[in-house]
Structures are given as structure tokens and as C-alpha cells.
């Protein structure tokens, strides 16, 4: 659409509802939205704040000939999860390859080499074993350390490695004075330490009989994890321990001010202006920077509502942006065509996933998905709204479509789905990362405010993250939940909500703008 047309449309809308000074702001907003892609600009700002680390990283996995395909796919999924977490560190050059292709001396040329031992008894090349025993910078995750000759392990401080019969009784990991709990049991190996003075145990696995075993041990340059924390990562479990120690292992120890992010979800043209105004007012009063996901167009069976048709509401959306809220595009209609998916209502329905068959939507090709995204983006930009990134409706889409989203938006704020062969998995991040698709992803690691009871779980997640060296917590809520007129099952009173946010502050978390705090870390 030409700018003159936009200005005309804006002017028409403006004389109906806005004062002259608001009109001027509106025109400036439209020009700003049109003159650059906000997402690229914000990302460039963030990158300027991050220091250079760099270096080679090698991830060795059990794939290749002789490995059962399902195990190989699982190994690749762990490698992707690890690569994503390593994406929190700048300028690393990461290579993933089968351990069977390892050649002597390689690990010495890396900043660090990670071995993922998910195949019990998987073959290890002698060259790799020799380099580990020669104290190459290697992190050993999971099985198979027992394959190394025990007399050769002695100089590293280990007298024996033994697998524990399943199910083990170990279900929590103590790290930095916090118990990282796991609903299931840990499939761990026991390392017996011969020389406790030279070994540093960073974390211990515990059971209910009072027994403890080294969970993360540092033996000179070899780091050892007693299981694979990348297997089914939990919000409060030892996945966080691995994520937190990556900096130590890479030689870039981090320590940060604990940061909190909050996001208003599903802001759409059918929203009540009063409800949105109230939610914005609450965060404003508490001086809390926030983000919002915005749906460009509302649909329901037989109904269509545009932002232009709701001037009072639109004014609130624009006010939010002027206050500094970061806006994320949240689909196009947050439902799919005329299908009931499951109800046909924006915000409730899925847009990129079939809710009824729990499978990709038939007919939704990559180009159709791209078109939906672009239609929505244009609507927002024409309103003078500058989306800085993307949030997938219900976090649900086939892995392939994330490539489409990644091309359109270099920034996202969500949990993401990936696929490696037969394995499809979702991953959340405890801090911002640049993922394998190259997208800068802001963390969402506490989930959403569901009920007053969910706030207790979220505080549990906050306490687990608070124990880390560079803690982030991030959650979202829906403005209607706080409305005095709403009495449904997701009701949370303003008082409960404010108390929750204050509890996060008391834990030491500071609410921040997600892009202004990237440099707020001391190496």
C-alpha cells in the first residue's frame, strides 16, 4: 500500500477519534514502522552489547553406521538442544559429528568438545579415549565412561565407574544450595572418586535414603555429567544445571543481575478497551517494563473484527507501544480459515497446527504460512505498530514452519519445536539464545499464569533459576484474567498478581526490557 493512501486512511480514522497531536504521533508511528524492519534493528542493538567469545566447539554423537536409527535420532535431538543452549555464547563455531569419525588430536583444537553418551556400550574410537585421558577439554555427558581403563582414570581422580541398576532411587540434584527436583528417576552412573582433592564436584545427585553421588564432576579439564540432562528437560530440574555450567566449561564464567520478563498475551481487536487499559495501568503503576503478543485480526464464526473498527482499543495498543512495551506479532488471526480448530475463534484456536488430529494442518504449506505471517505483519505496520519479533500461536507448528517464521523474524519469544528424523521435541530456554535456525529467542521458562495455584509453581521455578549464575525468569498472562468482571476458572485478582510480582522482586529478580539488558552481565 502506498504511504499516501495510508496517511489518508490514518487521517480519516484520526478525525473520527483522535485529537490533532495524536494524529501527528500516529503519522510518525506509521512512518517509523515503514522505514525499517524493527526486528533487525533491535537485534543489531543486542549484538552490539554482547562481547566476543568465539572458538570451535565439537559435539560428538552416536550416529552413523551400526547405530539403531531411533537412537541416532535421539542423539541428534540432544545435539540440537545443546547447540541451542550454546547459542547463548557469541561467535562459537559448532560442529556435530559421529564419534566414530573422531580423529586424534581434534579435541585439543576446540574450546571444548562435548561427548553425548546416549547409547549404552556405544563404540568409542581409541583416538578419542586417548585424548580424554591426555586431559583434552572434553565434557562427557551420560554413559560409557566405564569403558575407559580404570588404571588410566586414576590420574584424573576416578577409581571406578559403575552403572546403577534401573530404576535408581536418585531423583534430585543439589547445585549451588538448591535441590533441582525431577518427577522421574535419574538414570545415572556412579563415579567413585579416588583423589577428592583434585576433583571438583559442582553438583551431587541425591536419593531419599540419604545417599549422594557426584553428578557434575570436574577432573582437570574433563567435565563429567552422570546422566544426560538434555533428556526431557524440566522447568526445575538438572537441565538448568547443565545450562548454567556451560559458561564455566567454555571459559566464560558469567554472573548477572537476576532478570524477569513479563508478557501480555493474545491482545486482539475484540478485546475490551477497559480491560486492556486496566492491565497496562497495573504494570505502569508497578513500573514494570513489559511485552505483548498482538493478533492482527479477530475472527469468529460469522464475525471479523479489525483494529481500525475499535479506535478506543487501538489507542490503548498505541499507548502501550509509546510506553515502551515490546510488541510481538502473534500469528495472523490465531485461528485457521473457516475451520473449527477447535472453535474457529481467534486467540482460542490454533493457526499453524491441527488441534483435532494433533498433526500438521493439511493444506497449510510453507508459502501459505508465509503469506499469513506477511498479511498480519502488514496490518500491524499499517497501524503504526512495530513488531520486534514473533510468537507462534499456542507455540504449535510443524518443525518445518519454524523455518518460515525464522526467515521473517530474526527474533522470537517462545518455546520452540524441532525435529531430528523421527524425534520431535519442544525446548525451553533459561536465557536468551540464538538457536540452530539462527533466531534470537527470548526465554519463556515459567509458563503462563493459569490460576492462583499456578503462581506457586511459578515461584518454585523462580527459586530454581535464582540459584543459577545468570538467572532469568519469564512468564505471560492474559489481561482478562485480572478483570473484576471476569469470574471464570482462570481468575487471578490484581492483588494476587501484584503480590506474585513482588515476590519475584523479593527473590532478587528485576523486571527489565528484554533488549536493553543484554549487556547486563559481568564476565
**Nearer to Zn ion (CB atom), residue 266 or residue 414:** 266
**Nearer to Zn ion (CB atom), residue 190 or residue 450:** 450
- Could you give the CA distance from residue 37 to residue 472 in angstroms, rounded to a whole number? 27
Place of cell 527474533: 411
Q: How far is CA 139 from the centre of its chain?
A: 23
Place of cell 468482571: 485
Minimum distance between the CB of residue 334 and Zn ion, rounded to whole angstroms?
A: 6
In eight-state DSSP terms, residue 371 is H
How many helices (H) does the chain have, and how many strands (E)?
13, 26
**Nearer to Zn ion (CB atom), residue 63 or residue 335:** 335
Minimum distance between the CB of residue 266 and Zn ion, rounded to whole angstroms?
A: 4
Minimum distance between the CB of residue 293 and Zn ion, rounded to whole angstroms?
A: 6
Minimum distance between the CB of residue 392 and Zn ion, rounded to whole angstroms?
A: 9
**Nearer to Zn ion (CB atom), residue 333 or residue 420:** 333
**Nearer to Zn ion (CB atom), residue 289 or residue 393:** 393
Strand 138-142 vs strand 112-117: parallel, antiparallel, or unpaired? parallel
Three-class DSSP labels, 190-202: EEEECCCCCEEEE
Minimum distance between the CB of residue 340 and Zn ion, rounded to whole angstroms?
A: 17
**Nearer to Zn ion (CB atom), residue 393 or residue 471:** 393
**Nearer to Zn ion (CB atom), residue 187 or residue 266:** 266
Determine the residue with CB nearest Zn ion.
266
Strand 433-434 vs strand 440-442: parallel, antiparallel, or unpaired? antiparallel
Residues 243/470, Cβ–Cβ less than 8 Å: no
- Could you give the CA distance from residue 256 to residue 509 in angstroms, rounded to a whole number? 11
Residues 133/156, Cβ–Cβ less than 8 Å: yes
Closest CA to 190 of 177, 208, 178, 207: 207
Place of cell 527436583: 181
Minimum distance between the CB of residue 74 and Zn ion, rounded to whole angstroms?
A: 30
Instruction: Using DSSP, state whether 23 is helix, strand or coil.
Output: helix
Place of cell 510468537: 391
**Nearer to Zn ion (CB atom), residue 26 or residue 385:** 385
Minimum distance between the CB of residue 391 and Zn ion, rounded to whole angstroms?
A: 7
Closest CA to 520 of 281, 286, 289, 235: 289
Minimum distance between the CB of residue 119 and Zn ion, rounded to whole angstroms?
A: 39
Minimum distance between the CB of residue 490 and Zn ion, rounded to whole angstroms?
A: 13
**Nearer to Zn ion (CB atom), residue 266 or residue 444:** 266
**Nearer to Zn ion (CB atom), residue 238 or residue 334:** 334
Residues 256/471, Cβ–Cβ less than 8 Å: yes
Residues contributing to the site for Zn ion (CB under 5 A):
266, 393
Rg (CA), the chain: 25
**Could you tell me the maximum CA-CA distance found in the chain, to the nearest angstrom?**
85
Q: Where are the beta strands (DSSP E) in 182-311?
A: 189-193, 199-207, 212-219, 222-225, 255-256, 259-267, 291-294, 298-300, 303-305
Minimum distance between the CB of residue 379 and Zn ion, rounded to whole angstroms?
A: 16
Q: Which residues contact 371 (CB under 8 A, 6 or more apart)?
A: none
Q: What are phi and psi of 12, to 5 degrees?
A: -60, -45
Instruction: Using DSSP, state whether 498 is helix, strand or coil.
Output: helix
Amino acid at each position: 500500500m502506498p504511504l499516501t493512501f495510508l496517511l489518508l486512511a490514518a487521517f480519516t480514522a484520526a478525525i473520527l477519534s483522535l485529537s490533532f497531536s495524536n494524529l501527528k504521533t500516529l503519522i510518525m508511528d506509521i512512518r517509523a514502522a515503514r522505514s525499517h524492519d524493527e526486528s533487525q534493528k533491535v537485534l543489531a542493538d543486542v549484538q552490539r552489547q554482547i562481547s566476543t567469545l568465539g572458538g570451535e566447539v565439537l559435539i560428538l554423537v552416536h550416529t552413523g553406521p551400526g547405530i539403531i536409527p531411533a537412537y541416532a535420532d535421539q542423539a541428534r535431538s540432544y545435539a540440537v538442544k545443546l547447540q541451542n543452549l550454546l547459542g547463548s555464547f557469541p561467535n562459537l563455531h559448532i560442529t556435530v559429528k559421529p564419534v566414530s569419525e573422531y580423529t586424534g588430536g581434534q579435541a585439543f583444537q576446540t574450546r571444548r568438545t562435548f561427548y553425548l553418551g546416549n547409547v549404552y556400550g556405544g563404540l568409542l574410537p581409541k583416538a578419542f579415549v586417548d585424548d580424554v585421558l591426555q586431559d583434552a577439554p572434553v565434557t562427557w555427558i551420560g554413559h560409557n565412561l566405564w569403558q575407559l581403563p580404570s588404571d588410566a582414570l586414576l590420574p584424573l581422580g576416578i577409581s571406578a565407574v559403575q552403572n546403577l541398576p534401573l530404576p535408581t532411587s536418585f531423583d534430585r540434584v543439589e547445585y549451588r544450595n538448591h535441590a533441582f527436583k525431577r518427577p522421574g528417576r535419574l538414570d545415572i552412573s556412579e563415579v567413585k572418586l579416588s583423589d577428592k582433592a583434585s576433583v571438583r564436584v559442582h553438583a551431587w545427585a541425591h536419593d531419599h535414603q540419604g545417599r549422594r553421588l557426584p553428578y557434575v564432576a570436574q577432573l582437570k579439564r574433563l567435565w563429567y555429567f552422570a546422566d544426560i540432562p538434555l533428556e526431557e528437560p524440566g522447568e526445575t530440574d538438572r537441565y538448568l544445571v547443565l545450562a548454567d555450567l556451560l559458561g564455566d566449561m567454555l571459559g566464560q564464567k558469567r554472573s548477572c543481575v537476576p532478570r524477569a520478563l513479563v508478557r501480555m498475551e493474545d491482545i486482539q481487536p475484540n478485546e475490551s478497551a477497559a480491560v486492556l487499559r486496566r492491565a497496562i495501568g497495573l504494570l505502569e503503576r508497578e513500573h514494570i517494563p513489559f511485552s505483548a503478543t498482538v493478533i492482527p485480526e479477530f475472527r469468529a464464526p460469522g464475525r471479523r473484527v479489525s483494529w481500525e473498527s475499535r479506535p478506543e482499543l487501538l489507542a490503548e495498543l498505541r499507548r502501550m507501544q509509546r510506553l515502551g512495551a515490546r510488541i510481538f506479532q502473534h500469528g495472523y488471526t490465531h485461528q485457521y480459515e473457516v475451520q473449527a480448530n477447535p472453535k474457529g475463534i481467534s486467540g482460542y484456536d490454533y493457526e499453524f497446527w491441527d488441534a483435532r488430529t494433533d498433526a500438521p494442518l493439511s493444506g497449510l504449506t510453507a508459502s501459505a504460512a508465509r503469506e499469513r505471517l506477511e498479511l498480519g505483519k502488514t496490518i500491524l505496520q499499517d497501524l503504526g505498530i512495530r513488531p520486534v519479533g514473533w510468537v507462534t500461536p499456542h507455540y504449535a507448528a510443524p518443525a518445518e514452519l519454524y523455518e518460515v517464521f525464522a526467515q521473517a523474524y530474526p527474533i522470537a519469544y517462545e518455546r520452540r519445536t524441532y525435529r531430528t528424523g523421527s524425534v520431535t521435541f519442544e525446548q525451553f530456554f533459561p536465557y536468551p539464545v540464538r538457536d540452530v535456525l539462527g533466531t534470537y529467542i527470548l526465554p519463556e521458562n515459567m509458563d503462563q499464569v493459569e490460576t492462583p495455584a499456578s503462581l506457586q509453581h511459578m515461584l518454585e521455578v523462580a527459586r530454581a533459576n535464582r540459584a543459577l549464575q545468570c538467572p532469568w525468569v519469564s512468564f505471560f498472562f492474559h489481561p482478562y484474567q485480572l478483570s473484576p468482571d471476569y469470574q471464570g476458572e482462570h481468575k487471578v485478582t490484581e492483588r494476587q498478581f501484584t503480590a506474585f510480582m513482588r515476590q519475584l522482586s523479593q527473590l532478587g529478580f528485576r523486571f527489565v526490557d528484554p533488549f536493553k539488558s543484554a549487556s547486563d552481565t559481568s564476565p
